[in-house]
Amino acid sequence: MKWRRTTAPRVAAEPLDQSRIAWLMAVAACALVPHGSHLPGWLIAVAALLFTWRVAQWKLGWPGASGLVKLLVVIACCAGVSLTFGRLFGREPGVALLTLMLVLKLHELRSTRDGHTVVLLGYFMLLTAFLYSQTPAMAATLGVSMTVITAALIALTGPPAAPRALLRHAVWLLAQALPFMLVLFVLFPRVPGPLWGLPLDAWSGTSGLSDSMSPGSISQLSLSGAIAFRARFEGDAPPARDLYWRGPVLSAFDGRTWRQGSSAQRIGDGVPHPVPGRALAYEVTLEPHNRNWLFALETVSTLPADVRVSDDWQLLGRDGVRTRRRDRFESVLGARPGIEEWSGHLDAARQLPRDGNPRARQLAQTLRAASPADTVEAGLRLFRREAFVYTLTPPLLGEDGIDAFLFDTRRGFCEHYAGAFVFLMRAAGLPARVVTGYQGGERNEVDDYVVVRQSDAHAWAEVWLEGEGWRRVDPTAAILPSRIERGLADLPAGEPVPFVARVDLGWLRSLRHQWEAANNAWNQWVLSYDQQKQRELLSRLGMSQPDWRLMTIWLASLCALFAIALTLWAMRRSGSADALARAWSGVDRALRPAGLGRETWEGPLDYAARIGRLRPDLAPVLSQACRLYADARYGAAPPAAATRELKACARALRRQRTPPHQ
Amino acid sequence: MREAIRRWLATLGGSPALPLTLDRRRIFVLPTGPGLAFGCALLAMLLTAINYTLSLGFALVFMLAGLGQVALLHAFRNLYALKLRETMPEPVFAGQHASFPLWLDNDASRPRPALQLTMAGADPVTIDLAPQQSRAVMLRVPTTRRGWLSPARVTLDTRYPLGLIRAWSYAKPAQRCLVLPQPESGRPPLPATAAGEAGVRPRGEGSEEFASLRDHRAADSPRHVAWKTSARTPDAPLLTKQFEGSDGGDLWLDLAQLPATLSLEQQLSRLTGWVIDADAAGLHYGLALPGTRIAPASGPAHRARVLRALALHGLPA
C-alpha cells in the first residue's frame, strides 16, 4: 500500500473505458464532417481509413496502430500536405494537420488526459470550419457538433450514462451558456482584424465583374443569381432605371477585348471635383469578390475615408474585398462629371486599333453630324431603327466581331451593344469608353434592402461632350427599354431567363424575398457585426459614446449579473422532499412564538402527544399535522399531497396559537 | 508552500467539524489542468476569430467561455448543501485497513454524480449520489501501530459536469479507530497446563479435556460440534462437545508471565493472538496487565473489552 500525497488524486491518469472511447470517436466524426467539402481528397481518405481502423479496433478487437505506423503516417501526411499546399504553415495546411492530429490522437487514447486533448482539438476544428462557411446551415451543423463534443466532455467526467441523457445534459448546459454568449457577442470590443499577416491562401473562389470585357463575359455572369451587393437608401430608393452601379471602366480596346486604360490607374484623393446637386445617401454591403473595386451609384459625391476614386470615377478599396464590407456613399444621380477632362485621358478614349472592323468604321463616318450630341443621337437611332435582338445566347463572333455583330448577326447582349457603340463613337472621333457595373436591383419588401445580383451585371457607354462632360449612353436601353426598367425578366419569349429573375413565379419570388431578407439579417447582424455595427447597435440601445471602456464595464456587469442569477438558482432549495420538510418546519414556526416549538429530539408523534397535553385546543389540528408528516416521511403517503395539507395545518395553527381567553 | 496555502484554505469557512452542511463559504472552486488548457485553447481560438474576422468564431468562443462559467456553477452546485456526517469505525488489527465511514446525505431532488473523497493515506473513493440518497463511504487507511488512529482531514471534491473546474471542501472527522495489536503469527498454542506455566494459569481442569455432550446452541463454535456423533444419527439435533475448561476453568492471560526476551509489543501481540484463540475455543479467560485486571469471562463484549485493554496498554486512552 503506497501512501499518496494529500493532493487531489490524479484523475487525468485514469484509463478510458469503452463508452468514453466511443464518445471520443463521435467527437472526431462531428469535428471532421464539416471539413469534408474542402480538405484534399487524399487526406479525407487517410482520415477515413485511420478512423475506420480505430472503429474496427473498438468493435472487432483489431490490433491498434503501432508507434512506427503512426510515425510513418505523420511523416507521409506532412509530406503530402507540403506537396499539396506548397508549405506546412498557413490556413489550409494548418487545418489539414489539425485533422491528422485529431484522427491520430484517436489511436492513442490511454487516459482521460488524452480524452480532453481530443475534445479541445474538436472544439478548435469547429472554429476552423467557420473559415470556409458561415451560413446559418453551417452554424446549425456546428451547433449540433458542439453539443456532441460537450456531451463527450461530460462523459469523460461523470458516471456512465445513456447517450440521450448526456446529450440532454449538454444542451442544458449550453442553454445556460447562451446568455453569456449573447452578452459577449454584443459587447466584446471588436478589433478590426487581421492582427497579423494572413496567409496567401486566405481567400479564394469568388465571382464578379472582371477588369476586362470580351463578348460573352457579362452574359455568362448574368446567368448567376448570386447576390453581388445590397444597398439600403436613407429615404426612398430611386426607381430601378436610375440605378447605375459603376464598376470597372474600360477604355482600352484591342479589337476584341476591352480593358482598363491609363485613367483607371491614376488615383487622386477624394472625388476629382465636387459634384453639384442633391445627394442621395445609401449604404452598400458588398459581397466579397476578391478585387479591390467597390460599387456606387453614378456619380458619387462623398466617400468613406478608406475609399479612393480613380480618374475615371471608379471606386477602389485599399485591398481586394475578401470579406463582406459595408460602406456609406452619397451620390448625385444624373450628374455629368469631367467637364474639364485631362486631354491625355480624352486622347486615350479616342484610341482604336489601326485596322479591323472596316464596315463599322465606314458606318461611323455616316453618323458624324454637326454637333457631337447629334452624333450620339444618330448612333442610338441606328440601334433603335435596325432589327437588333437582345439575347443572352448570341452567336459566336470571329474576326472583326464588331462588324459581324453590327451587320450580320445583330443579336447580342449588353456587352455587344456597349462595345459596338463605343467603337462607333470613337471611329466618329468622339472620346468614349465602356463602363461595366450593375444596373437596377430588386427591392426586397421584407427588409427594404435593394438586392443587386450578378444577373444585374451590365455594360454601358460613356461619351465625352465638350461643355457637358461624360454623358452616360446606354445602347441597351435603346434596344430593349424594359431591360433597364425591369431587369432581365422581360427578355423576349424563348430566351433562357435566369431562374432568379423570373416574375411569373410570384409565390416563389416572395419566398425568395423572405429567405434573402433572413440571410441579409444574418449577414448584417451576425457575420458583419464589426466595430461600426457594434457602435451603431449600442447607440441605438441608449449607450451614448460607446467606447471600449464603457463596453467592458457593461460586459463585466452583465456577465456578473447572469453569474449571480445562475448562482442563486444553483443555491435555491428544490425537490419535493425538501418541500415536505419546509412545510413541516412551517408547523414548528407557527407554534414556536407561543413557546410550543418542537424539541430537536422529539419525533412528530411524541411532539403531538406533548403539545396535546399542554394545549388540548390545538391537539386535533396538530396531531393531524404530525400524522401527515410521519406518514409522508416514513410511510407510503405521497409527499406532494401531504405538503399541501401540512401548509394548511400550519396556517390553522398560527391562527389558534394564542390561548383562548378565559 | 502548497501545504501552507492548503492549511490556510482549510481555515476559511469555519470549522470543518462533522456533521457539516456544505455552504457557500466552505466550497472552493478553481480550474483543473484540463480547465486551464481549455482556457488557453479559447484564447487561441479568440485570436483566430479576430484575425480572420470570423463572427461565428466569436460566437463559438463566447459560447465556450460561457460554458466554462456554467461548469463552475454546476461544480459548485454539485457540492452545495450536501451534508456530511460520520459514524464510528470498527476496531481493526494492526496491519489491516481501518475503515472510516463517512455519510453523505443528498437532500436535493437532483443527483450528485462523481463525488470524490480523499484522505491522506487512504485510497480516494468516488461515488454517485442519487436524488435524496444517503450513502456511507468507507475511507480505508492502512494501519501499522496499535492504539487510536485518527483520520486526517478529508477533502471532498468534484469536477462534474465538465471536468474543467474542481470544486472542493474540507471536513475534519472526529472519528478515531481503535487499532488492536497485530495477533502474533506462529504463536505458541494456548497454554493448557497447570498454574505456573508461562502466561497461563488455568483454573480447574484442562480445557482440552472432553467432558460431555449437550444440545447445540447457535452461539457454539462450529469446531466444538460433535460432527462424528451427528453424522451417525443424521435425524438427531446437533450436539456440542463440552470441555472441562470451558465450564469451570478460568484462563488468565498475564503479561507478566511472558518471557522477558520479548518486547512489550511482541508480548501484546502474543496475548492478542491468544485472546482470539481462547475466544474461538469458547474459553473463560481473563487478562492481567500491569495496572489492569479483567476478570475471566467470555463472549463478544468481553473479547472487545480485553482487546481494547491490550490495544491501549501504556497509551493514553
What ipTM score was computed for the predicted complex, to two decimals?
Answer: 0.77
pLDDT band at A322 (very low <50, low <70, confident <90, very high): confident
**pLDDT value of residue A10:** 45
User: What is the distance between the alpha carbons of residues B190 and B207, in angstroms, rounded to a whole number?
Assistant: 10
Which of A548, A571, A594 is the last residue before a domain boundary? A571
User: What is the distance between the alpha carbons of residues A68 and A242, in angstroms, rounded to a whole number?
Assistant: 70
Q: Are A149 and A279 in the same domain?
A: no
Q: Which percentage of chain A shows pLDDT scores above 70?
A: 89
Judged by DSSP in three states, B282 sits in: coil
pLDDT band at A500 (very low <50, low <70, confident <90, very high): low
Mean pLDDT of the region A203-224: 68
Q: Are A537 and A622 in the same domain?
A: no
**Residue A67 within a domain:** yes
DSSP calls for A471-523: EEE-HHHHH-HHHHHHGGGGPPTTS---GGG-SS-HHHHHHHHHHHHHHHHII
CB contact residues (below 8 A), chain B span 277-316, against chain A: none
Q: Do A188 and B62 touch (CB under 8 A)?
A: yes
**Distance from A152 to chain B by nearest Cα, in Å?**
9
Mean pLDDT of the region A580-585: 81
Which amino acid, one-letter code, is at A316?
A: L
Q: What is the pLDDT of residues B293-308, one digit of tens each?
A: 898 888 899 999 999 9
**pLDDT value of residue B196:** 39
pLDDT of residue A204 exceeding 50, the answer is no
**pLDDT value of residue A492:** 54
Mean pLDDT of the region A506-517: 78
User: What is the distance between the alpha carbons of residues A143 and A140, in angstroms, rounded to a whole number?
Assistant: 5
Q: Do A575 and B2 touch (CB under 8 A)?
A: no
Q: What is the pLDDT of residues B220-247, one digit of tens each?
A: 667 667 777 777 666 666 666 655 444 4
**Distance from A22 to chain B by nearest Cα, in Å?**
17
A158 → closest Cβ in B41, B77, B114: B114
Q: Which of B58, B59, B160 is nearest to B111 (CA)?
A: B160
Q: Which residues have CB under 8 Å from A549's CB, separation 6+?
A: none
Lowest mean pLDDT among A318-332, A362-376, A415-429, A493-507: A493-507
pLDDT of residue A255 exceeding 90, the answer is no
User: What is the distance between the alpha carbons of residues A593 and A653, in angstroms, rounded to a whole number?
Assistant: 11
| B262 reaches A (C-beta below 8 A) | no
**Residue A282 within a domain:** yes
Task: Spell out, as residue ranges, where chain B has pLDDT lower than 70.
Answer: 9-15, 192-221, 223-224, 232-249, 317
Q: What is the pLDDT of residues B145-171, one digit of tens each?
A: 999 998 888 899 999 889 999 999 988
Buried b (16+ CB within 10 A) or exposed e, B34-56: bbebbeebbeebbebbbbbbbbb
Q: Are A415 and A558 in the same domain?
A: no
**Residue A204 within a domain:** no
Q: Are A25 and A131 in the same domain?
A: yes
Q: Are A423 and A358 in the same domain?
A: yes
Which of A135, A153, A187 is the last residue before a domain boundary? A187
Q: Do A130 and B6 touch (CB under 8 A)?
A: no
Which amino acid, one-letter code, is at A648?
A: A
CB contact residues (below 8 A), chain B span 133-172, against chain A: 142, 152, 155, 157, 159-164, 166, 168
**pLDDT value of residue A366:** 87
**pLDDT value of residue A614:** 86
Q: Which of B61, B37, B38, B40 is nearest to B49 (CA)?
A: B61
pLDDT band at A268 (very low <50, low <70, confident <90, very high): low
pLDDT band at A196 (very low <50, low <70, confident <90, very high): low
Q: Which chain A residue lies closest to B107 (C-alpha atoms)? A: A578
A127 → closest Cβ in B53, B57, B110: B57
Is A458 a residue of the active site? yes
- If one compares A576 and B311, the residue with the highest pLDDT of the two is B311
Q: Are A406 and A346 in the same domain?
A: yes
Q: Are A433 and A319 in the same domain?
A: yes
**Residue A661 within a domain:** no
Q: What is the dihedral angle through the alpha carbons of A635, A640, A646, A647, rounded to the nearest 10 degrees?
A: 170
Q: Which of A95, A89, A152 is nearest to A118 (CA)?
A: A152
Give how far Cα B16 sits from Cα of B83, B153, B173, Å.
Answer: 12, 9, 8
- Among A231-235, A409-413, A621-625, B307-311, top mean pLDDT goes to B307-311
**pLDDT value of residue A12:** 47
Q: What is the pLDDT of residues A87-105, one digit of tens each?
A: 777 788 889 999 999 999 9
Q: Are A362 and A241 in the same domain?
A: yes
Q: Are A266 and A383 in the same domain?
A: yes
**Distance from A81 to chain B by nearest Cα, in Å?**
21
pLDDT band at A578 (very low <50, low <70, confident <90, very high): low
- Interface mutation vs chain A, best among B27, B55, B61, B170, most A CBs within 10 Å: B55
Q: Which residues of B touch A101 (CB under 8 A)?
A: none
Q: Which percentage of chain A shows pLDDT scores above 90?
A: 18
Q: Are A597 and A463 in the same domain?
A: no
**pLDDT value of residue A257:** 85
Is A474 a residue of the active site? yes
CB contact residues (below 8 A), chain B span 49-68, against chain A: 49-67
**pLDDT value of residue B217:** 64
Is A414 a residue of the active site? yes
**Distance from A39 to chain B by nearest Cα, in Å?**
19
Domain count, chain A: 4
Mean pLDDT of the region A330-359: 84
**pLDDT value of residue A200:** 47
Q: Are A60 and A125 in the same domain?
A: yes
Q: Which residues of A touch B54 (CB under 8 A)?
A: 127, 130-131, 134
User: What is the distance between the alpha carbons of residues A236 and B86, in angstroms, rounded to a whole number?
Assistant: 78
**pLDDT value of residue A613:** 87
| B231 reaches A (C-beta below 8 A) | no
Which parts of A370-468 fold into alpha helices (H)? 372-385, 401-403, 414-427
The residue segments making up the domain with residue A359 are 212-501
**Residue A606 within a domain:** yes
User: What is the distance between the alpha carbons of residues A104 and A99, in angstroms, rounded to a whole number?
Assistant: 9
**pLDDT value of residue A3:** 39
pTM of the model: 0.67
Mean pLDDT estimate for chain A: 82
Q: Are A140 and A257 in the same domain?
A: no
Q: Do B48 and A128 touch (CB under 8 A)?
A: yes
**Residue A304 within a domain:** yes
Buried b (16+ CB within 10 A) or exposed e, A211-242: bebbbbbbbebbbbeebbbbbbbeeebeebbe
pLDDT band at A422 (very low <50, low <70, confident <90, very high): very high
- Helix A136-157 to helix A163-187 angle (10° resolution) is 120
pLDDT band at A347 (very low <50, low <70, confident <90, very high): confident
Q: Which chain B residue lies closest to A124 (C-alpha atoms)? A: B45
pLDDT of residue A62 exceeding 90, the answer is no
Q: Which residues have CB under 8 Å from A181's CB, separation 6+?
A: B59, B62, B63, B65, B66
**pLDDT value of residue A440:** 85
The answer, yes or no, to whether the previous bond of B181 is cis (omega within 30 of 0) is no
Strand ranges, E, within A584-653: none
**pLDDT value of residue A484:** 65
